[in-house]
Amino acid sequence: MLTSFVLNLFLYFPEDKSEYIPAVITMVIFFGAAVLFFFFIKKIARKEELKTKELIDQKTREEETSNNR
């Protein structure tokens, strides 16, 4: 019973639906920022993957040359 009372304190459905506009604008801004951040992180991860592949290739070439001697 206490839980439902506490949750009902935060539920508010306004009669005037124009009060939803600031919340929608805020949600769109944060959602857009999250999408941009996701692509930014994905781009950085791709660069790090290429660096790692280059290091692996370099190490395998070094090992091959040392094994041929």
pLDDT at 40: 98
Give CA separation, 2 vs 7, 8, 12, 13, 33, in Å: 9, 10, 18, 21, 37
**What's the token pair of residue 49?**
């993957």
Whether residue 6 is contained in a domain is answered as no
Range of the domain at 67: 43-69
Whether residue 30 is contained in a domain is answered as no
d(CA 37, CA 35): 5
Q: Give the count of domains, the chain.
A: 1
Whether residue 53 is contained in a domain is answered as yes
Whether residue 50 is contained in a domain is answered as yes
Look up the pTM and report it.
0.64
Whether residue 12 is contained in a domain is answered as no
Query: Residue 27 contacts by C-beta under 8 Å, 6 or more apart in sequence?
Result: none
Whether residue 34 is contained in a domain is answered as no
Query: Residue 20 contacts by C-beta under 8 Å, 6 or more apart in sequence?
Result: 14
Tens digit of each residue's pLDDT (9 = 90 or more) over 6-19: 677 777 778 888 98
Whether residue 67 is contained in a domain is answered as yes
Higher pLDDT, 9 or 32: 32
Whether residue 38 is contained in a domain is answered as no
Residue matched to tokens 């992180």? 41
Interval 20-47 mean pLDDT: 97
